Structure 1
Amino acid sequence: MTSSPTTTTPVPARPAVSKLSEPAAAAAVTAATKALGLPTIREEYARIAEAAARERLTHAAYLAEVLTAECDDREQRRRIRRVKEARFPRPKRLEDFHAHLLPDLPEATLAHLATGAWIDAGEPLVLLGDSGTGKTHLLIALGTVAAEQGRRVRYVTTAALANELAEAADDKRLTRVLARYAALDLLILDEVGYVSLDAHGAELLFQVITAREERASIACASNAPFSEWGTTFTDPRLAAAVVDRLTFNAHIISTGTSSYRLRSTRAAKKGGLKN
């Protein structure tokens, strides 16, 4: 028994160009950009079309302009989203940080940190100094730069992270939370040494640090020298292990003992700061 040949219905060719009125074209653009998720083109295509007509751009050049506008706006939204996801407690920018007030922070070092190369290399950053010496400002500012460069960043204090991990362990969610912190490009751990942790919290925090060792960066700040970290992590051996992991191939910067806030205020009152 022979089978009959399969027949297919030919698909009619689509016209190369549809003849649409201006209102119909506008409706078509709105529908298409909504379906494709292109909000910038939807908002800007008419304005760019007018400019393209004045400049006598080709159709291809006009298309390039609207696509570039969409890409640029999408990149801007992504930067804003990354900064928001980092959960910084307040905005701080590098351009507002007056490095000349910290003699142990050369401009070349700050410029290198701003590139984010140390994050790509998985190197730690440790800031040591008294309260008010600019540590948190610098952490947030560098974290903001990293987030705007497209990296996944999270800011958290040591006590808050230990509490979050303990609650996750109680709720049987610890593995998921640890995986989330391990996936970050940069973990900013502020206020190390401010609050003593119980043994369980210290051990959980150590798991996060170990998971990122030599693979993903941690930037931390403390007002206590390494020799006093035992009061935070309670177990001297655990404290030594934490110090070892956070200082290996690390950028260690001393912010000193003189208040950065006070010096900034005094300098501003005398006629402005000069970087």
Structure 2
Amino acid sequence: MNRRMQAPDNILRIWREFDRFPMETFTKMWYFHQDTEKKQRDVAQMKEHYQQYGITGNCFDLAIWLIDVLKKEGIIAYPIGHGLHSEEAHAAVIALDEKGNRYLCDLGDQWIQPVLIETQHEDYTTEWLTGFFPAANVQVCSSEKQIKIRYLRPNGKISCQLYDPQPVNMEEFLHAAELSQTTIDPKPLFECRVPYKTEIAHWEFNDWEAFLSASDGLFSEPSYNSIEQWATRINEVSGYDQQFLLTTLKWYQKY
């Protein structure tokens, strides 16, 4: 693995606290049905729900939570994203080291670790990198106006993700987050990083189908006929509260 693009230990240590945090829309669906006017939870609520049910949230939840922990440790961090205020919105975080070098931190896409995006840094490279993303090599093409991440899968397929690296004002970010939390997709989504052989793989439940992505291939899982079976399987993978999963899956089933 090329270690040149890794974040420093103080950023990486905080990131590791989120290693077992899935990215999912289940919490959005669940909280949407709670009797609250505001649907974007604050960090105190997220921590409370995590203690109660083992749940985390979507990319906005994870970004807000990560920024809060980084800042409490004295690390400068701010939100970024693309497609904000739309159904395709995606949120991520930029964290700065002591010299002001920027690192992309994307829990929403379930990265294994942050990656350097500072093109003037002596360790920056556009070579393909291993160990940063589950079941894929990544290439970082950073510029003043755009961060372009290319993903190379084991089957040779290449995909791309774009970010606007400019800091998003927190008030605007929270407004986009609130819009996201009130926009319900009828297809349930649950993604998490899981240990697999000698690597970190990516497990996904998407629209009532589940599969594992690893360096040796894409493996589909058996499809279950009942939400009870799906709840059990997701609980096995993530540790999420069984009753929470049953309740949320029933709501999805109605859509």
Asked whether the two chains share a fold, i.e. TM above 0.5, the reply is: no
TM range (shorter): under 0.3
Q: Give the alignment's TM-score, normalised by structure 1.
A: 0.21
Structure ranking higher in strand proportion:
2
Structure with more contact order per residue of length (Cα contacts < 8 Å, sep ≥ 6):
1
Q: TM-score, normalised by structure 2?
A: 0.22
Rg: which structure is higher?
1
